[in-house]
A and B are shown apart, each in its own frame.
Chain A
Amino acid sequence: MSRYRHKPFPYTTPPELSGGKPFEAPVVIVGAGPIGLSAAIDLAQHGVASVVLDENNVVTVGSRAICWAKRTLEIFDRLGVGERMREKGVTWQAGRLFHRDREVYHFDLMTEPGHRNPAFINLQQYYVEAYLIDRCADFAGLIDLRWNNRVTGVEQSRDSVRVRVETPDGGYDIEADYLLACDGARSTVRSSVGLDFAGEIFWDRFLIADVEMEADFPSERWFWFEPTFHSGQSALLHKQPDNIYRIDLQLGWDADPGEEKKPENVVPRIQAMFGDRDFKLEWVSLYTFQCRRLERFVHDHVIFLGDSAHLVSPFGARGGNGGIQDVDNLCWKLAAVIDGRAPAALLDSYDEERCHAADENILNSTRATRFMTPDDDAERLFRDAVLALAEDMPFARQLINSGRPSKPCSLAGMALQSDDDEGFDTPVVPGTACPDAVVAEGSRPGWLLDHLGGAFKLLSFGDDPARHDGLGTVCINDLPVDGCTTLRDVDGLVAERYGADPGAAYLIRPDQHVAARFRNPTPQAIGKALARASGKAMEQRS
C-alpha cells in the first residue's frame, strides 16, 4: 500500500520582496493547517482571494487528528475534497468498550440509511492537509500559498490589519481587510493581539503512538478502562489507512515525558498490548490536554478559527472537527461582508454561533476527560461504580464516558435563525444542519446535500414550489419544475426527514443549516427570514 511521503513544498520569494506583481487579496490567512487551508478553499469558492502564510514547508509530521466526523465530511464534500478523503480513509461507526479484559459495551453510531457520509472516517491529518493543499491548486488566481513565511506581529488600524512576515529572504509587511488566525494552539496572532486564553488543564499525560503492523482488527474504536495490559487507567486503539494503528495510553501525571517517548520504553508497552506481533513505530508523542477558549473569536479585523480560538482534549474528536465547522460558519459571512452584500455586524453571528459550539465541545470533552482522569475521591468512587455496574446494567453503560463523538451543534434560537413554524413535527428546526438523503436528478442518483449550500437556497416541496427573487430553488417533486433544480425523493427520505408536505419550504443557509421553515410560505415571510439570516437585521457594531 502506498504510504505518505513527506516532501517539502517549495518556497518562493514573495512579490513584496522580489518586486514581482503583488497578489491582491482582501484576506490574509495565518496557518496552513487543516483549518487555514479549508478557509482558503471556502473563500475561493465564494470568489474571495486570500494569501495563506505558513511558517513551515511540510504537512504535519505526526498524524495528530485522525477521526473526521460526518459533518466535517459533508463540509469537505462542499469544498470538493470529500470523495478523496473517503476513498483513502478507514470508515468506522462502531466501537467497543472494555473494562479490564471484559467487553462491557459496544455501540453503533450510525443506524439510519440514506446518508452519503459515515459516522466517521479515520485519516491521518497529514493526508487531510495534503489533499486540501492539492485542492488549493485548483484556485490559482484566488489562493496564494506561501511556505516558510512566518508571521511575527499583527497590527490593526481602523479599517485594516497589517501583518509582519519573516521569510528566508527577509521580512515584509502585508496589509488586508481581514486576517484569519488559523495558527493553532500556540497562536502568534493571539499573543500579538494580547488575548487571554482561559481554561482548564488536565493533570494527566497520554502517550500517543502510531504503529505500522499487519493485523486484521476490525475498523472500530476500542477503548479500555483499567486494561490488564497497561498499568495506566485507559487505552485506546484506532485503525488508520496504510496498516497504521493509533494507540493512546494514559500514563498519569508523574510520567516523565522525555523518558516515556524513548522507543525502548514505548515498545514494551505496545508489546504488552499485542503480544509478539511484528510492528514498527511510526510516530510517538506525549500529550497533556487542555480545554480553553478565547472569550470572543472576532476582534474587529482579526478573526480566530480552529485551535487558535479553542482547544479541547481529543476524546470525542472535537478539535479539528470543531475547527472545520468554524470555517463552514465563517466563510460565507466574510465573503458577503467583503462583497458589500452584508453589514460587518453579520460577523458577530460567527462569534455567537461558534462560541456556543466551542462551549458545547469543551463541556463534552471536559466530562470525558474527567471520567478518565477522576479528580478526587468522590469522582473516582462514582467512576468505578459506573464501570462495576456497566456489564449487567444498561443504564450504567450510558454513563461510561470515553468521549462523546463530535456532532454538529444546534444553532437554534440564535440571531440569524427565525422562529420555528409550528406546523412541522420533525426535529429539523431552524439552526439544524440539514440532514442528507438519497435523491435523483432526472435519472442521475445523488445526494441532497450536494444541491444545498454555497449560497442561500429555498428547498421547496411539490409541483407548485415556493420561490423567491434572487434565490435558487431546489424543488422536491417527481416531475421536473421549470426554473428549479428538481430532485426526486426516490426513497421518500427527504419527505420523512424534513416532514414537509407539498407547498412547504425551507430556507437554507450557505453552510447547509436551516435558517427558517414555512408550512405555507409567503414572499413576505421568506423575505423577512432571508434578511434576518443575511445579517441585514443585525445592528451595526459600534
Chain B
Amino acid sequence: MTGQANDAQSVLGACRLGDNADDLYETLLGAHAGLDASASAALNARLVLILMNAVGDEATVRAAIRAARADRVPPAPDDDR
C-alpha cells in the first residue's frame, strides 16, 4: 500500500468531529426529516457529491468508497485501487 493511501486510511478512521459529533449527526438526520425514501436518497446523492468534492484528495475518496462498500469490513491492506 502506498504511503498516500495509508494517510487516507488513517484520516478515514480517525475521530475528526470532536465535541460536535452528536450535533452534526442530528443535523444530518434532520435534513432528511419529512422526506420519503426517494427524496432522501436524492439528498444523500447530492451530499455525497458535495463531500467528495470537498475532500478532493483522490486517494482519500477512493479509500472512503472502498470502506463504505466493504460493509464495515476493513479493507485488505493491499486493496489499493
Interface residues of chain A, those whose CB is within 8 Å of chain B, are 381-382, 384-386, 388-389, 393, 395-396, 399
Which of A381, A382, A384, A389 is in CB contact (< 8 Å) with B50?
A389
Interface residues of chain B, those whose CB is within 8 Å of chain A, are 41-42, 45-46, 48-50, 53
Smallest CB–CB gap between A389 and chain B, Å? 6
A381 to B43, CA, bound (A): 9
Q: Tell me the dominant secondary structure on chain B's binding face.
A: helix
Nearest to B53 among chain A residues (CB) is A395
| Chain B residues with CB under 8 A of A399 | 49
Asked if residues B49 and A381 are in contact (CB atoms below 8 Å), the reply is no
Known: A385-B48, A389-B50. 12 other contacts (CB 8 A): A381-B41, A381-B42, A382-B48, A382-B49, A384-B42, A384-B45, A385-B46, A388-B42, A389-B49, A393-B50, A395-B49, A396-B49
Asked if residues A385 and B45 are in contact (CB atoms below 8 Å), the reply is yes
| Chain A residues with CB under 8 A of B53 | 393, 395-396
Tell me the number of A-to-B contacts counted with CB atoms below 8 Å: 26
Smallest CB–CB gap between A454 and chain B, Å? 41
Nearest to B45 among chain A residues (CB) is A385
When A and B form their complex, which 4 residue pairs have the shortest distance between CB atoms, in order from nearest? A385-B45, A395-B53, A385-B46, A381-B45
A531 to B23, CA, bound (A): 68
A204 to B7, CA, bound (A): 43
Nearest to B52 among chain A residues (CB) is A395
Smallest CB–CB gap between B6 and chain A, Å? 26
| Chain A residues with CB under 8 A of B46 | 385, 388-389
A399 to B41, CA, bound (A): 19
| Chain A residues with CB under 8 A of B48 | 382, 385
A382 to B50, CA, bound (A): 11
Nearest to B38 among chain A residues (CB) is A381
Nearest to A394 among chain B residues (CB) is B53
Nearest to A383 among chain B residues (CB) is B45
Smallest CB–CB gap between A396 and chain B, Å? 7
Smallest CB–CB gap between A385 and chain B, Å? 4
Nearest to B43 among chain A residues (CB) is A385
